[in-house]
Each structure stands twice: as C-alpha cells, then as structure tokens.
A and B are shown apart, each in its own frame.
Chain A
Amino acid sequence: MNRRDFFKIVSVSGAAAAAGGCQQASETILPLVVPNEQLVPGVASWFATVCRECPAGCGVIARNREGRVVKLEGNPDHPVNAGALCMRGQAALQGLYHPDRIAGPLVREGSAGFKSATWDAASKTVSDKIAALRSGGKGRAIAVVTQLENGSLGGMLDRWAQALGARPRVTLEPFAYEAIRAANRQTFNRDAIPYYAFEDAEVVLSFGADFIETWLSNVNYARGFARMHSFRDGRAGTYIHVEPRQSLTASNADEWVRNAPGTEGLLALAILKAMVDEGAADKRFAEAVASVDLKRAADESGVGVETIKHIAKVFSHAKPGLAVGSGVSVSGTNATQTQVAINLLNAAAGNVGKTVRFGPDSAYGKVTPYSEVASLAGAMGSGEIEVVILGPGVNPAFTLPSGLKLADAVRKVPLVVSFANVPDQTSELAHVVLPSTHWLESWGDYAPREGVVGFLQPTMSPIRDARPMGDSLLRIGRAALGVEEGKGPIPWPSFEHYVKETWAPLVKGDLEGALRRGGVFSDVAAATVTAKVTAGDSAPAKLDGDASGLTLLAYPSLRFYDGRSAVSSWLHEAPDTMTQAVWDAWVEISTETASKLGVVRGDMVAVKSSQGTLELPAYISPTLHPAAVAIPMGHRYTPYQRPRYVAADTGSLNPMGLLPAVADPASGGLAFMSVKVTLSKLGTRRPLAVLQATHDQDQRELAQHVDLGAAREQALRGRAPEEPHPTLYDDQKYPGARWGMTIDVDACVGCQACVTSCQAENNVPVVGKASAAYGRQLHWMRIERWAEGKPEHPTNLFLPMLCQHCEVAPCEPVCPVYAAYRTEEGLNGQVYNRCVGTRYCGNNCPYHVRRFNWFQFEFPEPLDVQLNPDVTVRQLGVMEKCTMCLQRIIAGKDRARDEKRAVRDGDIQTACQQTCPTQAITFGNLKDEGSAVTKLTHSPRAYHVLEEIGTRPSITYLRKVVRGSHA
C-alpha cells in the first residue's frame, strides 16, 4: 500500500479509483481529463453532510483527498454535535469502504441464491410486479419500510407510496422511545419527545437513560452533561443514576443507585412522594403519590428509604434539575407509567420549560410505533403483503425480537426489495437487491429536531455501482405508472432534483452557503405546557418466563447501536469501556449468580428464555444486580471479518433472539425488559479478548481524584508550588514551539470516540480478536477504566492513555539507531523507516503505549482507499505510537506560513481532541503563556501519571472531582 499512489485515484471513473492505491510501486500516474478546481491532488477539500449512523443526526464534515473521503469530523456549526462525533460516526468510513459492499444489483435465482443483474433488469422485475398489483387494484399490498427519514427522502417516498396506492410508509427504528411520547401525551398533552437541556441542569436524575451511549442523541447530551457536570466549567452539578446495571452512563454518575429491575417507576413515585412529604413539591402532586408507600417502595426496589429521601432532597433543591428515563434496557410493559412518574417529577420540581423543552422536539417523535410494525409483520405473515421495500439501514430480521417471527413473515412475501449496500440478515431474505449509495455518497436532508435541518450532499463518487434509493424508486415508480420523466405524480428526473426543489424555500437562494454550513439551523422557542397530574401507577413490568429466572437486560451498545454499525471492524476492535472486551459479545453475570453456576469469565453459558437459547461467553460483573443478566445488542459479523479477524462465532450473538414480541400497552412500544431467563453452564470455553489486565490501580495513582470541596478550595488558593525535578543535565531548549496536551479526567466520560478517531486518522490497522487478546492491539491510545472503592459499588475513573511525549523519555536513550528521539518541538519522534525493531523502547516505556507491528497487517480492498495519505503505513517489524498527529501540526504550521503569521492557539487540533464530545482533551503550545493548554497545565488539579519516575511527560492530566458521597 503506497500513499503516493493516490494520484491514481484522481481519475475519471469511480471503479478505477476503487482499484487504485493498493499496488506496491505503481508505475503510472493518471491526471484528470478535465481539471476540477475542487480537487487539487494533495490538498484536502471538506464537504459538510449529516451522519446517518443513528437518528441523532449529527453534522459531519468529510475530508476528501484525491477524490476519496479519508476522515470524518463533527461539523462545528451544527447545533447538535458542535464539532464532536461519537465512535460510530467516526467509524462510518468502514461502512463506506466495506469490503463486502454489494457490487451491483442482485436478483435471486430460485434456490441458487443471488445473481448479479443489470439495473434495468433488476428494476424491471420490481416495476412489473408493482404495475401488476396496481392494475389488480392491490396497491395496499405494497409496503415501504425505511429507517427514520423525516427529510426529503421520507417526503418523496410518501409521495411515491401515495402515487402507487401503497400502504403508508413505515419508519422502523428499533429504539423508538414510544413510552416518552405516550407519557407526554398523558401528562403534557403533547405527542412529542422534547429537547432535554442537560447543559442548564444543576442536578440530573436518570432512570436508566443511557444518554452517554445511545439514548436519543448521545453526542449532544454528552456535551450537555459535560457542561453541567464537569468542574472545569465551574458548574460541578450532581448526577444521580438509577439502573440495575452499572452502564457506562451510570459509571459517570456521582451516585449510582442499583435498583431491582423494573422498579424505576416505583422509585420515581417514591422520590416524588418524599418531595411532597418534605413540602418540596406542590400539594397537587400529592394525589399522584397517594398510593405510594416509601417503606414498600424501598423493599421492592432494594433502595433504602434514606437514599430515596436524600435523592428527593437533592433533586428538589436543584434550580433547575432534570429527570430523564426510558432507557431501552429498562423499558418494560410499564414503560409509560414509569415515564409518567418521571414527567411528574420534572413537573413537581418545576423543570418543564427550563430543562424539559417542548418545541425543539426530537425527530424520534415521528417514528412508527412498534405495535404498527408488528401489525405489518402480521400482515406479511398472513400473505396480505406482496411487495416489501426495505430502505438502507433497516435490518428487521436482526433488530426485532424473535418473538415476532419476522424472518418467517418476510419469507412469505413474494417480492422483497432491499436497498442495503452491505449484506445483512434481512437482505439475505430479499429477492431483489438494489444497492443504495452510502449516505456519504448521497443527497438528502435530515432534521434531528425542530428548527435544525441538516443537509446531506455526496462527499465522493460512489465507490461501488450503487444508486440512490430515491433514484431507483422514481424510475421503478414511473415504469409501474407507465409515465415518463417530468409527468405524473412523481415527475422528478432524479432524487437530487427533488431534494434541491424542497430546499429552495429553506435556503432562500443561498444553497452554496447552506451546503457549506451543513444545513439550515434556527432556534425554536420552548412552548409552555401544563402538567396534568394523574394518579401514579407503580405496577412493575410484566415478565414472561418462570419467576425463578433472572431478568434479562438487553442493552443497546454504544459501539453498534442496534447493530447497523457492527459492519465496522474499528468498532469491534475498540473496547467496550466498562468490560474492556473487544470483538465477541458476552453475557454479563453478577458475581453471586456466577458463583452459583460455578462459571468464570470466558466459560460458555446457555441463556434460555421462552423464545429460545443463546450461547455466549460469560463476563462476571460485581456490579450487576443479582436478579439480572445483561447482554449487549448489535453484535454481528460481516463475511470478511470471519475468519480474518475472529474465529467463527457460536451462532447468534444477538439478545433479540431471546425476546418475546411484547409491547407496552399504553404506548405500543416494544418491551425490551420483558423476559426472565435461566442460565446453564455449557462446559466449553470461548475466552473473551479483554484488554485491561486489572481494574485495580494497585496504589499507583495512575488516575487520581480530588474531593469537590478540596478542589474548590485549591481553585481559590491557586496552584501549589511545584518542586523542581533534580537533574544532572540542563533543561532542553525549544527554539520554536513546545507541543503539549492536557486531559481532563473529570470531563472524560469514556466514550472511546477519540480511540476510533485516532485509528481513522493514523492508519492504525485492525489486528483481530486473537492478537488483541494477546496484547498485540495497535491502538495508539486507549481509555482505561480504573475502579475504586467497593467492588460492587465502585467509583470509576476513565484515563485516556497515549504516548506521554516525555521530556526525559525512557524510550529514547535505549534506541540503538535514533529511531526514537526527541524533536526540537518537544515531541517524542518515532522514525519508522529507521526502526530496526529491537523493541527495547517498548520494554522501557513505563506506560506501555508503544505498539509493535508483529505482522504485516493488511487493509483489505477497498479499505485501503481510506488510508490517510499524510501518514506512513507501517511495515512489519517496526515500532509505532502516538505522534500527537504530527501531520496535523505540519499542516497547521504550513497554513500559518501561507498566511504569513505565527501558529495561533487552536489552529492545530489532534484527531482525538477534535472529536471529543466533552472536550476533555486540549492541545497546544506550552511555550505560549496565553494558550489554553498552558493555563490548564497550571491548574491545581494538574498531575502527571507515574510522576515519581521523573519522565516529565508533555501530557498533563487533571484530577477527577468526586462528590462527597464517593470520597
């Protein structure tokens, strides 16, 4: 793989480009036929678009080099994510350049499986069928299923469906939060999901809402959370989390309350009751909690009365506070009642309108409720449906509970048309596959919330022979209607035309500007709503299966969402922060249960529910509630990942296979917490690849914390005088800049976005399960989780660890050939082509952040096209490590020199810093007294990891600030 060969890619056809960039030493260079001012070989151009990896709809800018997108970054102008991006967004490129991407239209040939076809032939089969149905007046037999598309695509599809007399389109989102809508209908008389202003809250009280992982809009809310919670911003608000399992979100709480599964609603009411008793809430709420008895609530939920009172006190004193709920894993048949209780809490504490804002409502409000999806499935099963059109991103056969028997229902449909661009469990069942372009190759728009319309534009030409779903359907629709272009109900020549047409009123003539900004953004004022107080219902969730079983918590994974991001090997290789496990899925078992079963980590366990059995390796967790068992959702592998990266898995890893098709009656939402399971030991083993040897720091104070009071006091007193390091040598002189970094352990929420961003930026290869398990992963940075205090109730500290660029670096003197050396700008340089591979530096690095190329790691075509041309692809046998994004430093200095000025603070951002949702990472010039990084290094909370060794790192950490209850 040779970065210079990116010349080849600047050529006419996308196909040729895809082939490019993978030869050893290319001999030919292909210039453009027609010059393209947007494309200067060697100069990046940026295109703004919208991330479609989940319905949060973050703004993205794509870095395009030589016609290929090589990196994604958050769009700084976008109100949702303001420049940050989560790991799934970062890894979207792996979907774009997926080796399994469908090369062109496919048509099923009986039992022989798929055969590739021409676009005309493939679409003809579809249009003929549809035409036949229309003439037969059976338009209702056509169903269109897409992911949440509330923009142009959705609009056009609705017009299309109407024109053909098809059923109204179904938008399928496995995590639809129907309960929040239903509850808001009850309490506030609004069928909407509001905007939760975490940033303005003083106290956040979450009932299983994993807002740092997947809940509604994780980047947006992680940002907001950092504003309200981190000491840096002077707020240092309090965060209390109620959940039976210590999720990543829970582990960020100042107080994590472990409740019995399904008692969230009960607890919410109990807290409200306590508030009423204390007189902290309006009397009119008394009726809501008339039936609630604190003592009983305490017994049922396993949360002490004192704790309940304490929470009530803290929450009611907040001005304002914020209570959120309906996390997927804890929504059962009582989800709506629970959410109603939470609504009442917010109302009672007077948060509505302040932190709970109707008006800028979330796009989730437009999702088709699960119950309607179920009825569609029923219709398929009963043969009413003859054509199903499945948009990209929907994979119902995988994301819906096996209780629904959806796969069987789909098999009954005579013609299943899939627009997937990477094969998945549902496209396997299709008869015709018309691969749609990846969202990075498509036009479109998406409004994550009222007033925010993000525009999608193609950031590169399609890498495979794919067409936008809109185009294909327009063509099919017209063929079925027998009208030609420009006429009839769907006249548009292409979807792009439709999009531009709908944009015209929005952009008011300035399309260019809107595209550059990434959309049209406006603020929507919060509407005033009044809460209707209804009697709270504290009935626990109805669980199917025998009472002796354990409650199954199937939780959405930060890495894979509902499984649509699981195509990315980067995400499989980025550890789950809490368990530090990579690749395979696991079943999380509490210590008590484990000792009963006699299983240890890695033992295969059969998880049996009324719906079926799942065989997974066990992960023993001291924090999980003894009455529960937890399994992450979304784990699946694509063909090229097996056996390249992971041995063939033991069948399905998907907990949906255990769920019955039970809905919450009030909202019609799927009850995820709806089944009790029984565990049995299988006797076989499938060891998990867990990267972190231990979560115990063994008194080494790698991740440090300070009590809130102490931190405040220090902040007033200023920095304690730092004792100079005794040394025999005179200090190093830095003629130019001295680059340094600070990492705020207090702000880090452990979301792994930086890890994935680094991997994308620096051509870090994927090593696979076996190598990762054996300490051969190549990540340049890692997020460590250090647990303190009681094992069943620990305080977690997240420590991002990367090359510390020590001023007295142990790796440098031992290198026999100066491959590791100190640059004059204070970096610890690593010269790959000089490295002989003695690995002495690796031994001598006390932080063990140096990585070795044990093998020649491959970038299977076309993933090699994504490689950053500014970073060397390392050969086998050389050491590598974090360079503090040297290529970005060089580019920044180059830009400054073009503008005939010095490099300013903030000019240069490292990849990890750029994508961090909580801005925990700051990079800059330590010699510039005014720079943000210098100020932070002088903070009273500043410390160095393993300071006593005297390596004098260029990376300074800021202690986590823990609230009293933890100290």
Chain B
Amino acid sequence: MMAKAGVGALGAALLAVLVFLAISSWSRQPAAAAKPSVQPINFPHSVHVGTYKIDCQYCHSDARRSEYAGLPSVERCMGCHKITAADKPEIKKLAEYHAKKESIPWVRVNKLPEFTYFPHKAHIRAGLKCQGCHGPVETMTTFAADTGPSLTVDLLNLVGFRPAPPPLTMGWCVECHREQNAKAARHAPLDCVACHH
C-alpha cells in the first residue's frame, strides 16, 4: 500500500520535471496565432469566397509571386464596394478608411514563428489549394486558424499516443511533403534548412 505510494511519488516527480521543461520551452517560443479574432471590419470570407466565389488570389494577389500572400489594398476593396453594399455599416467603415487614406489594421490570424520561412509562391506554383492549409475558408464567417505547436500533442506523444499533428505545425508540413514526394513524385524539400535559415 504505502510502498505503491512511494513508487507513485517517484513517477510523479519525473513527470513534473518533463512538464516543466516542456512548458518553459513554450514560454520562450513566439506567441502562437490569435484564435478567432476581432477584426476592425467584420469581414466574412464565407460571403466573398462561398457566396460570390471570388478567387482567393483576386484579393491575396501576392501569393503567386511572393513569400507572403499579401492583403488587398484598400483601393481594391473599394473597387467593388464603391457600389456593392455601400450602405452596410461595415462597408461604411471601409469607406472611412479609404477616405482617410489609412490602411486597415487587420489582426493577423496565421503566423508562423520567425525561424520558419514559408514561401506561398512555391506552393501556389505546385498547384496547391489554399484550403489545404487554411481550412474551409469559404465556410468561415470569421477567419480562424488552429495552429502552432501544442503542448498537449507533445505530452500525448510522450505517453505513447500518436495524435495527428495539428495544422501549420512542423510535423504536419513534413507529412504533406513526404506524401507529395511519394504520391505525386514531386521534389518537396525535406531539408531542415529549406524552411529554417
């Protein structure tokens, strides 16, 4: 009885150490992305992508030529919204920004740590769909991303389970790259320094 308790205590101590190390490591990592976020203007992707079937790259036009997907200039928004739904309160906000010649302080949702270099360009060139990484955007009223390395996943691994890596984590990227190389006979790089340099 008591003996078991002794052994248990020892185990608990060991686990505590591991948990401490893991936590302290995440405390030093760049903040993971914001969860469903309050944007300055309530922008429903579902309407634009879902209802009106606007191509992602119409607004995120840098994706095919740059590391970043880019955001539409206020001009481009107004291009449609001068007429379209101009009376809606949210669009009025947009018009204000445009009038004041100010840029809209969008809240960043997807954010990789700074030591990770992700070029959208190469992935668009490879013909990947945006939804592959960003989820079913066409259904999202507020854009959200569940991302970043999660402590729980590592701890689950620690005790022997193998949960699928969460989106936009390294394991997830690697899995896809391997899959592509195996199935599509592509040359998706698996060198660490391809993304970490």
Query: Do these two chains really belong together in a complex?
Result: yes
- Give the shortest distance, in Å, between A185 (CB) and chain B (any CB): 57
- Give the shortest distance, in Å, between B123 (CB) and chain A (any CB): 12
Kindly list chain B residues whose C-beta atoms are within 8 Å of the C-beta of A870. 117, 197
* Known contacts A12-B101, A41-B66, A42-B62; is-contact A883 B113 (Cβ 8 Å): no
Kindly list chain B residues whose C-beta atoms are within 8 Å of the C-beta of A35. 73, 75-76
* Known contacts A3-B114, A11-B103, A834-B192; is-contact A27 B108 (Cβ 8 Å): yes
List the A residue with the shortest CB-CB distance to B67.
Answer: A42
Contact B102 A33 (CB under 8 A): yes
Kindly list chain B residues whose C-beta atoms are within 8 Å of the C-beta of A539. none
List the A residue with the shortest CB-CB distance to B116.
Answer: A833
- Give the shortest distance, in Å, between B97 (CB) and chain A (any CB): 8
Kindly list chain B residues whose C-beta atoms are within 8 Å of the C-beta of A3. 114
List the A residue with the shortest CB-CB distance to B34.
Answer: A27
Contact B74 A28 (CB under 8 A): no
Task: Give A288 to B105 CA distance when docked, in angstroms.
Answer: 78
A317 sits at the interface (CB 8 A): no
Q: Which of A2, A27, A830, A887 contacts B107 (CB 8 A)?
A: A27
Contact A831 B75 (CB under 8 A): no
* Known contacts A27-B108, A33-B103; is-contact A871 B197 (Cβ 8 Å): yes
B171 sits at the interface (CB 8 A): no
Contact B193 A30 (CB under 8 A): no
- Give the shortest distance, in Å, between B63 (CB) and chain A (any CB): 10
The stretch among A111-119, A483-491, A819-827, A946-954 that forms the contact with chain B is A819-827
Contact A872 B196 (CB under 8 A): yes
Contact A28 B106 (CB under 8 A): yes
Contact B98 A33 (CB under 8 A): yes
Within 8 A of B (CB), among A500-557: none
A693 sits at the interface (CB 8 A): no
Contact with A along B179-194 (1 / 0, CB 8 A): 0000000000001111
Task: Give A818 to B193 CA distance when docked, in angstroms.
Answer: 12
Contact A833 B111 (CB under 8 A): no
Contact B191 A823 (CB under 8 A): yes
Task: Give A833 to B193 CA distance when docked, in angstroms.
Answer: 10
B112 sits at the interface (CB 8 A): yes
Number of interface residues of B (CB under 8 A): 43
Contact with A along B26-42 (1 / 0, CB 8 A): 00101100100000000
Kindly list chain B residues whose C-beta atoms are within 8 Å of the C-beta of A29. 71, 105-108
List the A residue with the shortest CB-CB distance to B126.
Answer: A897
B121 sits at the interface (CB 8 A): yes
B122 sits at the interface (CB 8 A): yes
Task: Give A832 to B112 CA distance when docked, in angstroms.
Answer: 15
Kindly list chain B residues whose C-beta atoms are within 8 Å of the C-beta of A41. 62, 66, 68, 70
Contact A42 B68 (CB under 8 A): yes
Task: Give A818 to B121 CA distance when docked, in angstroms.
Answer: 28
- Give the shortest distance, in Å, between A897 (CB) and chain B (any CB): 7
Contact A831 B196 (CB under 8 A): yes
Task: Give A898 to B192 CA distance when docked, in angstroms.
Answer: 23
B88 sits at the interface (CB 8 A): no
List the B residue with the shortest CB-CB distance to A829.
Answer: B193
Within 8 A of A (CB), among B140-191: 191
A728 sits at the interface (CB 8 A): no
Contact B197 A894 (CB under 8 A): no
A699 sits at the interface (CB 8 A): no
A24 sits at the interface (CB 8 A): yes
List the B residue with the shortest CB-CB distance to A887.
Answer: B197
Task: Give A29 to B98 CA distance when docked, in angstroms.
Answer: 16
* Known contacts A42-B68, A834-B196; is-contact A30 B191 (Cβ 8 Å): no
Contact B197 A31 (CB under 8 A): no
- Give the shortest distance, in Å, between B169 (CB) and chain A (any CB): 13
With most chain B CB atoms within 10 A of its CB, the pick from A33, A818, A883, A894 is A33
Contact with B along A868-899 (1 / 0, CB 8 A): 00111101000000010011001000100110
B20 sits at the interface (CB 8 A): no
B125 sits at the interface (CB 8 A): yes
Task: Give A291 to B131 CA distance when docked, in angstroms.
Answer: 90
Contact A832 B196 (CB under 8 A): yes
Task: Give A964 to B113 CA distance when docked, in angstroms.
Answer: 58
Kindly list chain A residues whose C-beta atoms are within 8 Å of the C-beta of B125. 897-898
Contact B31 A25 (CB under 8 A): yes
- Give the shortest distance, in Å, between A890 (CB) and chain B (any CB): 7
Q: Which of A28, A43, A831, A872 contacts B114 (CB 8 A)?
A: A872
- The interface size bin for chain A is 35 or more
Contact with A along B60-94 (1 / 0, CB 8 A): 00100111101111111000000000000000000
Interface SS majority for chain B: loop
Task: Give A952 to B21 CA distance when docked, in angstroms.
Answer: 38
* Known contacts A12-B103, A870-B117; is-contact A829 B72 (Cβ 8 Å): no
Task: Give A41 to B197 CA distance when docked, in angstroms.
Answer: 19
Task: Give A49 to B194 CA distance when docked, in angstroms.
Answer: 33
A132 sits at the interface (CB 8 A): no
With most chain A CB atoms within 10 A of its CB, the pick from B73, B105, B116, B193 is B193
List the A residue with the shortest CB-CB distance to B118.
Answer: A4
- Give the shortest distance, in Å, between B33 (CB) and chain A (any CB): 9
Kindly list chain B residues whose C-beta atoms are within 8 Å of the C-beta of A720. none
Kindly list chain A residues whose C-beta atoms are within 8 Å of the C-beta of B116. 833
A26 sits at the interface (CB 8 A): yes
With most chain A CB atoms within 10 A of its CB, the pick from B31, B72, B194 is B194
With most chain A CB atoms within 10 A of its CB, the pick from B31, B70, B121 is B70
A290 sits at the interface (CB 8 A): no
Contact A31 B74 (CB under 8 A): yes
A225 sits at the interface (CB 8 A): no
Task: Give A910 to B103 CA distance when docked, in angstroms.
Answer: 37
Task: Give A146 to B68 CA distance when docked, in angstroms.
Answer: 44
A32 sits at the interface (CB 8 A): yes
Kindly list chain B residues whose C-beta atoms are within 8 Å of the C-beta of A34. 73-75
B50 sits at the interface (CB 8 A): no
Contact B103 A831 (CB under 8 A): no
- Give the shortest distance, in Å, between A213 (CB) and chain B (any CB): 34
- Give the shortest distance, in Å, between A910 (CB) and chain B (any CB): 14
List the B residue with the shortest CB-CB distance to A2.
Answer: B114
Contact B107 A28 (CB under 8 A): yes
Within 8 A of B (CB), among A13-50: 24-35, 40-43
List the B residue with the shortest CB-CB distance to A819.
Answer: B192
Task: Give A873 to B113 CA distance when docked, in angstroms.
Answer: 11
- Give the shortest distance, in Å, between A879 (CB) and chain B (any CB): 13
Within 8 A of A (CB), among B2-47: 28, 30-31, 34
Task: Give A827 to B106 CA distance when docked, in angstroms.
Answer: 40
B119 sits at the interface (CB 8 A): yes
A7 sits at the interface (CB 8 A): yes
B52 sits at the interface (CB 8 A): no
Task: Give A11 to B104 CA distance when docked, in angstroms.
Answer: 10
* Known contacts A25-B30, A886-B197; is-contact A32 B192 (Cβ 8 Å): no
Kindly list chain A residues whose C-beta atoms are within 8 Å of the C-beta of B194. 890
Contact A31 B66 (CB under 8 A): no
Task: Give A833 to B169 CA distance when docked, in angstroms.
Answer: 14
Task: Give A26 to B30 CA distance when docked, in angstroms.
Answer: 10
Kindly list chain B residues whose C-beta atoms are within 8 Å of the C-beta of A12. 101-103
List the B residue with the shortest CB-CB distance to A897.
Answer: B125
Task: Give A493 to B112 CA distance when docked, in angstroms.
Answer: 47
Task: Give A646 to B135 CA distance when docked, in angstroms.
Answer: 52
Kindly list chain A residues whose C-beta atoms are within 8 Å of the C-beta of B28. 875
With most chain B CB atoms within 10 A of its CB, the pick from A7, A32, A898 is A32
Write 22 A-B pairs (CB below 8 A) sorted by A numbering: A2-B30, A7-B68, A11-B103, A31-B71, A31-B72, A32-B73, A33-B73, A33-B75, A42-B62, A42-B70, A43-B62, A821-B192, A823-B191, A825-B191, A827-B193, A829-B192, A829-B193, A833-B113, A833-B116, A872-B117, A873-B114, A890-B197
Given contacts A34-B73, A831-B193, A873-B114, 10 further A-B contacts (CB under 8 A): A12-B101, A12-B103, A30-B103, A30-B105, A31-B106, A33-B75, A34-B74, A818-B192, A821-B192, A894-B121
Q: Which residues of A contact B (CB under 8 A)?
A: 2-4, 7, 11-12, 24-35, 40-43, 818, 821, 823-825, 827, 829-834, 870-873, 875, 883, 886-887, 890, 894, 897-898
The 4 A-B pairs of least Cβ separation, nearest first, read A42-B66, A42-B67, A31-B71, A833-B115
